[in-house]
Amino acid sequence: HMNIILWLYELKPNIPVGLFHLDHACRAGHLPAAQWVYSINSNLDISVDDERIARNALKHGHLHVAQWLFQLKPNIDFSVRENKILKQACIGGYNDLPVEKRITIVSWLLEIRPDLDISADDDWIFRHLCGQYNLDDSFAIARWLLEQRPAINISAKDEKAFRAACK
């Protein structure tokens, strides 16, 4: 799309380039377009709306875009909205992201932010994974999480993970 973007901008260089364009480029995984938008307007607040731009990039599986945003702003708050970014990465956002991609994203998040609370809300993520319908994928992620963080309370909320798995 870069050739079209550059052509349109050449035809009309006063097109306002802003957060809307950056968000859509990041959400779509178009890193060159996102980088171009930011180069045109580097005053953009990439943390607007509780880190919406990074959340959207990761929700759609575009780790490379989130890594670029993290380079721009190393203090991105990945714990906003009660760890929504981490929850979406584990559960798969609103897309059916492959397990390997979800694990890669979660692994990166935990690597750069080891203080992210994977056990927040009585181990909600683990309990939710155990009760999901896409059991093979969820089971793989639940097992991986437990290997990474053995302190996860698999008995939280009166054995809810087990009860959810029995549904």
pTM of the model: 0.85
Burial class (CB in 10 A: 0-12, 13-18, 19+), 68: middle
Q: Contact 156/127 with Cβ under 8 angstroms?
A: yes
| Rg from Cα positions in the chain | 18
Compute the distance between CA of residue 144 and CA of residue 44 in angstroms, rounded to an integer.
37
Question: Which one has a higher pLDDT value, 12 or 162?
Answer: 12
Q: Per-residue pLDDT tens for 65-122?
A: 999 999 999 999 988 887 888 888 887 665 578 888 889 999 999 999 988 888 887 7
- Here the tokens at position 5 are 């973007």
167 Cα distance to chain centroid? 28
Answer whether residue 149 shows pLDDT above 80.
yes
Model pLDDT for residues 16-65, shown as the tens digit of each residue: 999 999 999 999 999 999 999 999 999 999 999 989 999 999 989 999 99
